[in-house]
Structure 1
């Protein structure tokens, strides 16, 4: 047996042993609970157990413990206690989730499934929904969690009910509904790096059947986490603004109408401030050296890839601190997004009708050094625009029906454009710039349905189907602009006008059994589908094939010891084909298909209520992933600085390698302790999250090592519970780690990353009424 197979079998044995141990432990716990129910109840007398969490994973409200899906639900209270104000921090409390942030967009990965390529028309494999509306823009997944009721992270394919691009799962965000009673909450924070933030929420009645709210958020960062040492300017610095309003109209006792509007903005030299990986060198650097004078570039000159008179300088090693950059030009980032939706629910005697109509628009303006050197070798500027219209109609059973069912129709029309994407710099000589214009349109329609049927006592069978048809169209061109010394002319080339339609039937089947009133066991089989897409830079008529994920899952959900311990465990096995894998090219990341991969693992979510004052939350995902076929993967091998630096690319088989951004182990554990002090109460929260090593590409060369993050808050609530003051800290051990990694091949090669925030801390004051 080969070494690789031996390691694989060892990991399989460990995972199976762990799963067996967990199942054995819950069996013993259930038996103990049944034998000692009276004693446990007496010991818990006067102490409240763990409250039910209501989720909408089946597009209806039900207890999380009754849904045969692996779900991590994070309530508004837990978000506040952990000082989590944006989706990019959810990985701190959701195991199996990683969140990549780059100049081109945001990319959540769930159980290793996700998309890191960015471009006009490219979408994530983990779908983000806000109040029932799918977010098309890849940047739209970066949501400020201000007036949030709850965030539900649904693990595994959710395409039957949630639809497009839910191959890996769904981040389902539900905001608060307005209330008639006037109330509000306001919190101000000030921290290091001269960061000040203010968030507020106000709700009240406008008429007997009309309530409205408004939520606002602003964060201003006066000092960057790092510096561009070449220019002496701050980098890794971002200002953020967001406003959201919702009106709830109830004209009759059978109707509810929700009108929602939102707008948010982020700007600053933060996202896109990539720094060279320490110990590496960019292949192009400062100086006046021409390509023809560099022996290590001779093959590129001979092949015509690089003009001999192109100014490329000399290799330049990484310089400065972890958060610093060293580039001739400053990065910038600006992203505006907003939209409106209308949801109407009407209750008939036997059925409920729901209509969700939505329109969204996003505009992104980005500039960043495409070659991170202290010379103007390459600079990328992007103007990207997205807009979408969607309409969904749902027909569902009422709460009294024994058979729970839902059927619906979905339509979306989206457009994503580069207007334009420009690359410039001295290394392009005899060109002054390369300009790409791209327009990719998506029309998607689906019919879907799901029903849950009672079988015998405590048992239910769930089945669902969704038929999707999706049309992609791309048009675009490339413009070459020559330097004045070479005539200063422009040449239009690479015109593209192509279309492709994708059709797919996806499904869900699940069987659950209520073993006792407190224990549910389940098994499911789901198929997820993400349609094909065209690459946008340069615009291409070659389509990237759809990816398909078959997911098998089994698990249990248990409330034990008089509801003082909640333990939810799910084991999963994925058969993944035609993965849409990222390959980095000059200033862009494109998609290609990796033939096949397999993943398996176990998810654990636990909550323990230890007395009245102490709550512990924990979660873990243990996983193994590997490509089972990928014969033409790109391998990016580091070149020593003495030999020119940068990265050389070869083509090889990635079979047996891990899929990108799929750590074997992620876990989090947090505690909230409340103790009365004087007339008020002191709440202390500590949370620790961990990720093992993961890789950015199928070659398994460039990666982020294991890291752990420690966060804490300490809040004192005064007697009337209206006023609170506190201190907070995130990444208290000041761990350096990257959220996004790039390896680009020579000529002009490098390895760089988007640094995550260092240690931050500060004080806060809040008032509610």
Structure 2
């Protein structure tokens, strides 16, 4: 089948489009042919995070909608388990969980002293969690994955894409679900969702999830197996008040209490650590949002959301990864701790035209205003031997933006979409070194797409979009510039904003009877003043410092596809695949010796990602689901050449449905592969006098468990 034929290499966009044109034509022909069948239309997945709720098949851009059923296919309990399903998506772990997401090879991989500016943002119920990650996806309504720049809709935190998670909407009919899971590594999970009406006008929904696990690390020195454990409680609630058909008010409340351990890196480069002071990854966050939807005005719908979030985190680790006495004469004993607090307010006010409000009778429009204020405070406590060092910093960031979009029907089949956003940000930075800096920048992004609706079920689009993200201050570089060997960091005080231009061509098609759903996109992206993470390690010993630098330019291009094929009434095949080629522009690392990285692949940008999954209905009650998720090897950093190995992860799930009950037996990573989620290259082992090695953090090993669910 032409649609599923992979290419041996990824090539620049014009040739890429030529080579994939047969796949595109095949998708259109198959979708159009199937659309002639006299069947009732299938249920469509709607994108909730765009300006209007539309089918994913009718929006220009590479968007994936992951439903609750898709999450169950791999028995997903966390965002990590879901992201592996998606083409051209990768992630890096911060501690015991994956927190940093990369799309099409672009995204951050860690956060220490410096405030990161995410290339891939995270929204939960419209509240900005960018940089905090997602603790739970239990009983989520759906997860939307926007690949490519989405500045018009989301602004600075969506230069490479956006994750938009929606919790369960309140239902005026009683709806509920409960599940309990037991798994190896002393793991268990209890989660529940309940929604009901309080009155004819008021309804609510409540989701609670508790997850506990010892983790997958054994600490040989402390003789413990829970130093990298997981202990998380997540609560999300919504209260809906329908005053009338024209006015709806909604109150949203979130609470996350995360008390995870952090003991992930091993001097022996396996899952056995030697730390005498394991760290932790704690997060306590609270969030509230008030949303109003008003549609009584002629021609205009109004949306207003005001949100507040407060988060305190405690992130620490044993910097030497060892114990006192491991190698007298060579050893060192350091411990690092980062205490962060974050408080933010955001307001998003939007006017959206309806049929009566169209301009010239054929143009829908959106006009909006966005504002945010964020206070970020850091206290770093570091013990180096018997010496204690402290570094404090505060950053206040204010953003103001106006945005708009028009969608004009040029004919029955052709539609032109034009959108843009202008955003002004102001940073006020202060630290304990008596440094005070102010940054002011105005940035802009936009999109231009021409869409051709070949039939009701098939669309072809061309898209040109521009994204951006803010610059900032290298607090770590400035704090270490006075130390011996680190004077070069004075040249790395700040870094500039980055911009991204994306050209994309895609096809979306679906059969009316649901036998085929396909989405194919070819893209080419140009990065300007791209931000990269550099490291200075003067004597290749345990002392090093990180900083963010601008590498001039970079390129990312490739293809991604998603297919759902009903091969038989009892068997459904899912095929997702992504091909990616990325290149660093002129860039020489700050390390000694310096390394010229010009033309090399960008960090955490695997050239090939895929998922092959199937749902097999053995009987009316019994279903077998399986998936193979893989990615090719990739570089861990833009500052060194250490690389991961390629990986293939096999997941299986056997479930039995009996009326309202379901019992499922599942296994993730059935072949017990070691899959890396983070890597460094430096010397940290005193037993070999600090010879540089590649140190890796591993994803979960083979997991198996049983889940019982009840729905009412």
TM-score by length of 2: 0.89
Matched residue, 1:404:
364
2:340 maps to 1:384: yes
Per mean C-alpha deviation after superposition, the further-off stretch among 698-707 and 198-207 is 698-707
Matched residue, 2:617:
674
Q: 1:598 to 1:26 in 2, by over 3 A?
A: closer
- Is the Cα contact below 8 Å between 2:27 and 2:507 reproduced in 1? no
Matched residue, 2:632:
692
Q: 1:687 to 1:382 in 2, by over 3 A?
A: same
Q: 1:456 to 1:502 in 2, by over 3 A?
A: same
Q: 1:724 to 1:548 in 2, by over 3 A?
A: same
Q: 1:198 to 1:231 in 2, by over 3 A?
A: same
Matched residue, 2:445:
506
Question: 2: CA distance between counterparts of 1:58 and 1:383?
Answer: 35
2:44 maps to 1:95: no
2:393 maps to 1:393: no
Matched residue, 1:758:
701
Deviations 1:26-77, CA, capped at 9 Å, x for gaps = 4245446667876xx37xx7xx775311113532100111111111110122
Question: 1: CA distance between counterparts of 2:391 and 2:31?
Answer: 65
Q: 1:745 to 1:545 in 2, by over 3 A?
A: farther
2:315 maps to 1:366: yes
2:150 maps to 1:158: yes
Matched residue, 2:664:
726
TM-score by length of 1: 0.83
Question: 2: CA distance between counterparts of 1:581 and 1:328?
Answer: 33
Segments of structure 1 that go 5 or more residues without pairing to the other structure are 1-8, 277-317, 478-493, 636-648
Task: Choose from 153, 156, 161 the match for 1:169.
Answer: 161
Q: 1:12 to 1:35 in 2, by over 3 A?
A: closer
- Is the Cα contact below 8 Å between 2:31 and 2:509 reproduced in 1? no
Q: 1:417 to 1:750 in 2, by over 3 A?
A: farther
- Is the Cα contact below 8 Å between 1:183 and 1:203 reproduced in 2? yes
- Is the Cα contact below 8 Å between 1:57 and 1:67 reproduced in 2? no
Question: 1: CA distance between counterparts of 2:406 and 2:533?
Answer: 37
Q: 1:237 to 1:121 in 2, by over 3 A?
A: same
Question: 2: CA distance between counterparts of 1:371 and 1:742?
Answer: 14
- Is the Cα contact below 8 Å between 1:436 and 1:537 reproduced in 2? no
1:312-711 aligned within 5 A = 318-319=267-268, 322-347=270-295, 348-375=297-324, 377-398=333-354, 401=358, 402-418=362-378, 420-426=379-385, 432-477=387-432, 494-537=433-476, 542-560=493-511, 562-584=513-535, 586=543, 589-630=546-587, 632-634=588-590, 649-676=592-619, 681-699=621-639, 701-711=641-651
Partner-residue secondary structure (3-state), 2:322: coil
Matched residue, 1:486:
none
Partner-residue secondary structure (3-state), 2:25: helix
Q: CA RMSD in A?
A: 2.4
Matched residue, 1:131:
125
Matched residue, 2:484:
none
Question: 2: CA distance between counterparts of 1:408 and 1:18?
Answer: 36
Matched residue, 2:482:
none
Shift in Å, 1:745:
6.3
Question: 2: CA distance between counterparts of 1:73 and 1:698?
Answer: 31
Matched residue, 1:275:
265
Partner-residue secondary structure (3-state), 1:435: strand
Larger radius of gyration: 1
Per mean C-alpha deviation after superposition, the further-off stretch among 335-344 and 22-31 is 22-31
Segments of structure 2 that go 5 or more residues without pairing to the other structure are 1-6, 325-331, 480-491, 537-542
Question: 2: CA distance between counterparts of 1:667 and 1:524?
Answer: 24
2:249 maps to 1:236: no
Q: 1:537 to 1:403 in 2, by over 3 A?
A: same
Question: 1: CA distance between counterparts of 2:134 and 2:62?
Answer: 23
Partner-residue secondary structure (3-state), 1:274: coil
Partner-residue secondary structure (3-state), 2:708: strand
Matched residue, 2:675:
737
Shift in Å, 1:634:
4.0
